[in-house]
Amino acid sequence: MSKSITFTVQPSESLNGEVRVPGDKSMSHRSIMLGSLAEGVTHVKGFLNAEDAVSTLKAFRAMGVEITDPVNGEVTIHGVGKHGLKAPKEPLDLGNSGTSMRLLSGLLAGQDFDCILTGDESLSSRPMRRVTEPLALMGANIDTQENGTAPLHIHGTKNLKGIDYVLPMASAQVKSCVLLAGMYANGETTTTEPAPTRDHTERMLNGFGYPVQVEGSKASINSDGKLTAANIDVPSDISSAAFFLVGASIAKDSDVTLQHVGMNPTRTGVIDILRLMGANIEVMNEREVGGEPVADLRVTSSQLKGINIPEELVPLAIDEFPVLFVAAACATGQTVLTGAEELRVKECDRIQVMADGLQTLGVDAQVTADGMIINQSQIGGGDVHSHHDHRIAMAFSIAGLRANAPITIQDCANVNTSFPEFRDLATSLGLKLTSE
């Protein structure tokens, strides 16, 4: 965040080639957390060496866990066991990572030490009551700022009690936070979610030998289990692959294959939505790696058509909407998104910021309370702001594939939080992207 990076995209013709995008961010976070609390040595392959996941790694180092520096996506974690963490000497600075803060607040609520979780300006404005309120029901003692934001002062306690928590909104981070706290709570902790969200926490806990019972929308855990070291192979992040799924769909004469992409059914909403819009996406070489489904995806050019996006797919594609809005601008007719209020409390208000940028580029995009209405438009050139949001910056880069003039995108340093290789991979496939 200290240095400003500006992307400039020249109108580009097509995308072609075969690439493997970096490892899944959600799973990279969880591999560090659970590997640190496991007994024994955990080896991770495919770790996302980007700022958000590294924030989690540094936090566990600060609590006494020996973790090697990531080299070519490989990390070794010397687990300290479920009760082996030590009090950090300083506040834990989690940068821009909401996943780190929300999941750690659950893990740390039941420790026998106090700590403070802080982050950058963006993270310090994001809502944290959604995790501190259920944790308080469990007996946790966490102080927030007056408006419920970070820094979070966590006063560790040995007296957490299990709860049966019905989530008021579909949120994998809230669900995971409560389940991780449940590892330290007396009795059983159960979460019930209103719609399916990503289930990496449940899968990985089971992969480390810690029993989690999942029945429909309910997941249950108690404090009896222990984590045993495991080898983790992190698939490529479908949220990062999404930029190229959209790019190859909207650019003419395109043919892109994305290797080893995580196909967890709680994450594939972007594929379902693009297919409803008429995208040509072929799923090849399906396999399972470490309890997670993986496949190669081949996508070729298509004429997308506007749709009403089914609300049940919204939580399964929540991080992919910035680039899906670009797809909508290129789709014949009208695309309508509803039920996506959650987009307003991400790294920025992604609904408003995307609409502002699309309008700057000449796109007919109208904001609604819980979504957006986009009509097919010619994308023009212009100067847009990402508001330090990595997914906004990358989405407007992909818009260059259908723009008739250069697009300049301000504040792109945060692309490093999730996808440091974005520029290099995008240009290798044919996007005319420069940064300064």
CA dihedral 28, 33, 36, 37 (to 10 degrees): -140
Residue indicated by tokens 């009551």: 129
DSSP for residue 234: P
Range list of β-strands (E), 333-389: 334-337, 364-368, 371-375, 382-385
Provide the b/e sequence for 17-39 (b: ≥16 CB within 10 Å): eebbbbbbbbbbbbbbbbbbbbb
CA–CA dist 408, 403 (Å, integer): 11
**Strand order from edge to edge, sheet including 39-45:** 66-67, 75-80, 39-45, 231-233
Which region holds residue 408: left if phi is over 0, alpha if psi is between -120 and 50, else beta?
beta
- Non-local CB neighbours of 212 within 8 Å, separated by 6+ positions: 179, 202, 205, 206, 219, 220, 221
- The helix or strand, by DSSP H or E, that contains position 428, with its residue range, turns out to be helix 422-429
Residue from 319, 356, 364, 370 carrying the catalytic annotation = 319
Tell me whether residue 319 is one of the annotated catalytic residues. Answer: yes
Range list of β-strands (E), 265-312: 280-289, 292-300
Q: Which two tokens stand for residue 147?
A: 């408006």
Q: Which two tokens stand for residue 133?
A: 């309120």
Task: Tell me the C-alpha to C-alpha distance, in Å, between residue 211 and each of 129, 188, 219, 289.
Answer: 28, 12, 10, 19
Active site residues: 319
